[in-house]
């Protein structure tokens, strides 16, 4: 990112090569439309190029994922009036997985960790992350009592975090 | 806060970490996180798990799409980077041949580059114009949504960042915490008593070395006694803060016994 800040387009190209699959994939999962996901990908990377200082350290993967989710949420909101859920910003976290740990957690390991969750927890967490909906909408979509939705999400995230800790330490 | 309420708030923390909490409810969670060490630890723990979910979307993209996206993006970036920024230091040697020659080379390079870019676009990507029109339409739609949400999001983001930052200073009061980060000063209060009708809470500040209280903002907590307030002051100059209950519209000097007085030391 230092080289991108220095307007080095070769460094930016390398960044794109490394992360475009992730950005496009999040856009596709959230919007369900490859063309729109492509446009979101372009918007996200242009933001990185035009405002690299927006990344203030920590895990780049986590940061670019949040930027992408927020961008896709903007698209979803532009399609219809929706309650605005709040995606936590790029906060400095004492206990966050660091970049090197993230690097060891690839897509397959994540899926393996997710697979350890009960189906009802996994489904709510994945829908919550990728559908851009609020917990109330999740309850309506799944015909599940709101209190149950909350409990399952919390329990599921705790379980996933434990599984990730085990994966990262392997 | 009793045990049941606390558990409910911790569930809200999990929802916030996943990003499924409506903005209005998120503000309450922020106040909770800022005033409760265990809640903050839980938030950090769960948000890491939530962040990692993004990796499940990292899947192969077909090569034609990858090439098209990259071409489209890099054309914009290279046009913006300019010849000096392009390909780093290797190209920075050119101006050493002299300003006139250097300027001529740069102009020629720019012309050649633009021609090459255009010809590549035409020959390799017949759908560029359609893609650009589509992107323009999308940008317009997104801009509309952003105008209504970006300011609120940016403000909330800054508040959230300041409240939970490891370098923020926290000053405990019976009703919550006073948080100072840099020149920003916040009240993150979660145990405010209900107000009498026709009254508000009012913040007061005294400059370092002074006992004179200056009136600041008024605010009203939500039904659960929660309020997150940024004071419009330079925190670096403030020595003491206080809150009191005042008539609607606020007062020029405190008219009731302060709810709390907290020196920032």
Domain segments of chain B: what residues?
A: 63-126, 169-263
pLDDT, one tens digit per residue, over B10-30 is: 999 999 999 898 877 887 788
Q: Measure B132 CA to nearest chain A CA, in Å.
A: 9
pLDDT, one tens digit per residue, over A32-79 is: 889 899 999 999 999 898 888 888 777 788 888 888 988 888 888 777
Average pLDDT over residues B240-253: 94
- A47 and A88 share one domain: yes
- DSSP states of B204-253: EEEETT--PPEEEEEE---TTS-EEEEESS-GGGEEEEEEEEEETT--SS
Answer whether residue A99 is part of any domain: no
- A116 and A89 share one domain: no
Q: Measure B216 CA to nearest chain A CA, in Å.
A: 28
CB contact under 8 A, B58 and A83: no
Domain range for A42 is 1-93
Among B52, B138, B153, whose Cβ lies nearest the Cβ of A105? B52
Answer whether residue A98 is part of any domain: no
pLDDT of residue A157 exceeding 70, the answer is yes
pLDDT of residue B212 exceeding 80, the answer is yes
- A112 and A84 share one domain: no
- A47 and A5 share one domain: yes
Of residues B216 and A53, more confidence is placed in B216
Q: Measure B129 CA to nearest chain A CA, in Å.
A: 13
Of A93, A113, A139, which one is at a domain's C-terminal end? A93
Q: What is the pLDDT of residue B108?
A: 37
- A138 and A89 share one domain: no
- A89 and A111 share one domain: no
How much is the ipTM here? 0.83
Q: What is the pLDDT of residue B55?
A: 87
Number of folded domains that form chain A: 2
CATH, residue A79: 1.10.1740.10
Q: What is the pLDDT of residue B6?
A: 81
CA torsion sign for A119, A122, A126, A127 is positive
Contacting residues of A for B131, CB less than 8 Å apart: 38-39
- A79 and A118 share one domain: no
Answer whether residue A135 is part of any domain: yes
Q: What is the pLDDT of residue A53?
A: 82
Answer whether residue A100 is part of any domain: no
A11 Cβ contact list (under 8 Å, min separation 6): A3, A4, B88
- A84 and A132 share one domain: no
CATH, residue A136: 1.10.10.10
pLDDT of residue B210 exceeding 50, the answer is yes
Answer whether residue A8 is part of any domain: yes
Of the pLDDT bands very low, low, confident and very high (cuts 50, 70, 90), residue A143 is very high
- A70 and A112 share one domain: no
CB contact under 8 A, B20 and A77: no
pLDDT, one tens digit per residue, over B74-93 is: 888 887 765 545 444 333 33
CB contact under 8 A, B65 and A126: no
CB contact under 8 A, A61 and B51: yes
pLDDT of residue B31 exceeding 60, the answer is yes
The residue in chain B having the minimum alpha-carbon distance to the alpha carbon of residue A20 is B66
Q: Measure A134 CA to nearest chain B CA, in Å.
A: 4
Contacting residues of A for B146, CB less than 8 Å apart: 74
Average pLDDT over residues B243-265: 93
As a CATH number, domain B169-263 is 2.60.40
What span, in angstroms and rounded, lies between the C-alpha atoms of A69 and B153?
A: 13
């Amino acid at each position: 990112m230092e080289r991108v800040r220095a307007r080095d387009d070769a460094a930016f190209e390398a960044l794109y090569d490394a992360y475009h699959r992730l950005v496009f994939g999040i856009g596709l999962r959230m919007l369900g439309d490859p063309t729109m996901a492509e446009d979101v990908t372009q918007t996200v990377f242009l933001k990185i190029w035009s405002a690299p200082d927006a990344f203030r350290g920590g895990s780049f993967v986590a940061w670019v994922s949040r930027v992408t989710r927020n961008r896709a949420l903007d698209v979803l909101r532009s399609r219809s009036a929706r309650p605005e859920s709040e995606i936590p910003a790029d906060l400095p976290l004492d206990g966050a997985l660091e970049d090197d740990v993230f690097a060891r957690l690839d897509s397959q390991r994540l899926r393996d960790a997710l697979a350890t969750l009960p189906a009802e927890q996994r489904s709510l967490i994945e829908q919550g992350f990728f559908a851009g909906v609020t917990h109330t909408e999740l309850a309506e979509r799944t015909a599940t009592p709101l209190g149950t939705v909350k409990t399952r999400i919390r329990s599921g995230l705790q379980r996933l975090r434990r599984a990730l800790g085990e994966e990262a330490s392997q | 806060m009793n045990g049941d309420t606390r558990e409910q708030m911790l569930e809200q923390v999990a929802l916030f970490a996943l990003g499924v909490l409506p903005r209005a409810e998120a503000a309450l969670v922020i106040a909770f996180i800022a005033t409760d060490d265990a809640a903050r630890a839980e938030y950090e723990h769960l948000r890491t798990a939530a962040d990692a979910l993004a990796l499940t979307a990292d899947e192969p993209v077909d090569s034609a799409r990858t090439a098209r996206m990259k071409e489209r993006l890099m054309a914009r970036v290279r046009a913006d980077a300019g010849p000096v920024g392009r390909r780093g230091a290797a190209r920075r040697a050119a101006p050493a041949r002299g300003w006139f020659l250097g300027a001529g080379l740069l102009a020629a390079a720019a012309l050649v580059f633009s021609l090459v870019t255009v010809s590549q676009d035409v020959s390799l990507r017949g759908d560029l114009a359609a893609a650009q029109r589509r992107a323009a339409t999308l940008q317009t739609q997104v801009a509309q949504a952003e105008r209504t949400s970006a300011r609120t999001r940016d403000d909330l983001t800054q508040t959230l960042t300041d409240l939970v930052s490891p370098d923020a200073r926290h000053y405990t009061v019976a009703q919550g915490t006073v948080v100072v980060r840099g020149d920003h000063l916040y009240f993150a209060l979660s145990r405010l008593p209900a107000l009498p009708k026709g009254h508000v809470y009012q913040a007061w500040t005294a400059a370092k070395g002074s006992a004179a209280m200056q009136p600041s903002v008024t605010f009203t907590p939500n039904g659960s006694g929660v309020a997150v307030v940024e004071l419009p002051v330079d925190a670096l100059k403030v020595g003491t803060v206080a809150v009191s209950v005042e008539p609607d519209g606020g007062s020029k000097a405190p008219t009731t016994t302060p709810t709390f007085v907290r020196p920032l030391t």
